[in-house]
Chains A and B, each alone.
Chain A
Amino acid sequence: MSTPTSAPPTDAVDLSPDELKRYSRHLTLPEFGREGQEKLKATSVLLVGAGGLGSPAATYLAAAGVGTIGLVDFDQVEESNLQRQILYGTSDVGRPKLEVAQERLEDLNPNVDVNVHEMRLTSDNALDVIEEYDIVADGTDNFPTRYLVNDACVMTGTPNVYASIFRFEGQVSVFATEDGPCYRCLYEEPPPPGLVPSCAEGGVLGILPGFIGTLQATEVIKLATGIGEPLIGRLLIGDAAEMNFRTLKVEKNPDCPVCGEDPSVTELIDYEAFCGLPSTDAPSTNGTDTVSEDSIPEISVQDFKQRREDGDAPFLLDVREPYEAEIADIGANQLIPIGELLQRVEDLEADPDDEIVVHCRSGGRSAEAVCKLREKGYDAVNLDGGTLAWSQEIDDSVPTY
């Protein structure tokens, strides 16, 4: 197997006495040694996303002595982050993530240069940012950015250590090495919006990014030092519930539109449009939460409340999971989880001619349900913004989650 990456030259770095002390457990590890440590110090890594995956990855990479760590994110610390994003503490809520992350990482290891890129990665800036780094670790939370990072890595020849998580399951692989496959070889196209729920909607076991993010960081260190067999051409799937790890083969697709023999995509494109999302720059982190609003009839929470007050309330169907209704309830007439909707459509307690307003947490799943019900001939309408909007605009005693 050929050398996976261009492991950076080591002539430019020298370890100080303090560093020799700090890294002694690496230096005494025969396969690692001083050479491995110097290679790490000479390496620059860009972490895209400083959230669930980025937190453990950045922490271990800084501790291990990666010379330069870049972080891309533009969020502030929220309370709901703390269940898994271990870079941040309770007193950090409301602060910019990168400000906190920089403090934490520099305190953990002052030998590391921490570069913060407080921005949304876009087709206009991605190549410039990524070009500065030897290795990218993609830990973003949405499909448009994943395709953007992949394509920019292929175009700049930067290996991309990819990890993603959902509920109890994570995926890790190494893409965009010289001879290996890229993310588009594995998944040429993104799912249509709304079909795959985001972590915000679908939930995620807090500890899952902890171990998937450390697997991701492990692959970064292996690429940087040239140790072991990197996950090139293999997709690792970890299932925390079953506690089962499998690796599946990922072939390099000779017809891949980006890294294939005759690529059709040779410059960065509009990734929001590619993923079927409205091409806006709305500062939402969850692209997967958004659903194209074309042709899906909607009612605002204000209008719905008004109709309730007027005694003209339409039938309200909740398509979340039962445990979500236990958290936040806005008085639906019936609950049928989205996954059971077509099977149980006969159970609907609304009359066939009734108007049915459908709601979920943020409006993504309910939009999908509205499509399904309208295909079956029901007069279904989406409650825009779901329980989140209800909590924000109508009744703040309804918890957000």
Chain B
Amino acid sequence: MPDTQTQTVTLRIPTPLRSYTEEQPAVEVAGTTVAEALEALVDRYPDLRENLYTDDGDLRQFVNIYVDDEDIRYQDGPQTALDEGDEVSIVPSIAGG
């Protein structure tokens, strides 16, 4: 088992959600899967939880998660494995024009 305490990945926070992360565009968290990394994020910023998850604990449909440039829905979903230094992007829908 890799040591979850030492493997860190970068979570890229989109502008609509930066008000929940003290305006940080990127947050470093520990995690060996996407689910662990996101859990670490919402532990740190609890107001983000309802933006990312439904009441049933599933990721919301309008929030897409990418590991590097790949959509996790076409990988292993939240269980998609992460390597040290991977970039996880949260890409919510925006509608301004």
Return chain A residues, CB-CB under 8 Å to B96: 52, 141, 164-166, 198-199, 202, 204
| CB <8 Å contact, B94 and A166 | yes
Interface size class of A (residues with CB under 8 A): 35 or more
Q: Known: A249-B69, A250-B71. Is A186-B16 also a contact (CB below 8 A)?
A: no
Judged by a CB distance under 8 angstroms, whether B5 is at the interface is: no
| CB <8 Å contact, B46 and A246 | no
Return chain A residues, CB-CB under 8 Å to B89: 246, 248
Judged by a CB distance under 8 angstroms, whether B47 is at the interface is: yes
Return chain B residues, CB-CB under 8 Å to A246: 69, 89
Stretch at the interface among A24-32, A297-305, A338-346: A338-346
| CB <8 Å contact, A343 and B46 | yes
Checking A163, A191, A202, A337 against B60 with a beta-carbon cut-off of 8 angstroms, the contacting residue is A191
How many angstroms from the CA of A342 to the CA of B49 in the assembled complex?
Answer: 10
| CB <8 Å contact, B97 and A52 | yes
Which residue of A has the minimal Cβ distance to B63?
Answer: A191
| CB <8 Å contact, A339 and B47 | yes
Judged by a CB distance under 8 angstroms, whether A189 is at the interface is: yes
A-contact 0/1 string along B7-26, CB 8 Å cutoff? 00000001110011000010
Most buried by B among A166, A189, A199, A338: A166
| CB <8 Å contact, B66 and A191 | no
| CB <8 Å contact, A196 and B97 | no
How many angstroms from the CA of A168 to the CA of B16 in the assembled complex?
Answer: 9
| CB <8 Å contact, A342 and B64 | no
Judged by a CB distance under 8 angstroms, whether A267 is at the interface is: no
Checking B20, B61, B95 against A339 with a beta-carbon cut-off of 8 angstroms, the contacting residue is B20
- The interface of chain A, by Cβ under 8 A from chain B, is 49, 51-54, 138-143, 146, 163-169, 171, 186-191, 195-199, 202, 204, 209, 235, 237, 239, 241-242, 246-251, 288, 321, 337-343
How many angstroms from the CA of A186 to the CA of B74 in the assembled complex?
Answer: 12
Q: Known: A248-B69, A251-B74. Is A141-B95 also a contact (CB below 8 A)?
A: yes
Checking B73, B94, B95, B97 against A209 with a beta-carbon cut-off of 8 angstroms, the contacting residue is B97
| CB <8 Å contact, A195 and B51 | yes
Report the tally of A-B residue pairs with Cβ distances under 8 A.
Answer: 109
Judged by a CB distance under 8 angstroms, whether B91 is at the interface is: yes
Which residue of A has the minimal Cβ distance to B48?
Answer: A339
How many angstroms from the CA of A176 to the CA of B60 in the assembled complex?
Answer: 23
Judged by a CB distance under 8 angstroms, whether B62 is at the interface is: yes
Q: Known: A186-B64, A189-B62. Is A338-B97 also a contact (CB below 8 A)?
A: no
| CB <8 Å contact, B70 and A196 | no
| CB <8 Å contact, B19 and A321 | yes
Return chain A residues, CB-CB under 8 Å to B91: 235, 237, 248
Return chain A residues, CB-CB under 8 Å to B20: 339-340
| CB <8 Å contact, A187 and B46 | no
How many angstroms from the CA of A92 to the CA of B28 in the assembled complex?
Answer: 48
Which residue of A has the minimal Cβ distance to B20?
Answer: A339
Checking B19, B46, B51, B71 against A248 with a beta-carbon cut-off of 8 angstroms, the contacting residue is B71
Known: A187-B64, A249-B70, A342-B47. 6 other contacts (CB 8 A): A141-B96, A163-B97, A186-B64, A196-B94, A237-B91, A239-B25
Q: Known: A191-B93, A248-B89. Is A166-B61 also a contact (CB below 8 A)?
A: no
| CB <8 Å contact, A239 and B15 | yes
Which residue of A has the minimal Cβ distance to B70?
Answer: A249
Judged by a CB distance under 8 angstroms, whether B92 is at the interface is: yes
Checking B19, B69, B94, B97 against A337 with a beta-carbon cut-off of 8 angstroms, the contacting residue is B19
How many angstroms from the CA of A175 to the CA of B96 in the assembled complex?
Answer: 17
| CB <8 Å contact, A140 and B95 | yes
Return chain A residues, CB-CB under 8 Å to B25: 239, 241-242
Return chain B residues, CB-CB under 8 Å to A251: 71, 73-74
A-B contacts, 9 listed (Cβ < 8 Å): A140-B97, A164-B97, A167-B15, A169-B16, A189-B62, A191-B92, A202-B96, A235-B91, A241-B15
How many angstroms from the CA of A51 to the CA of B96 in the assembled complex?
Answer: 10
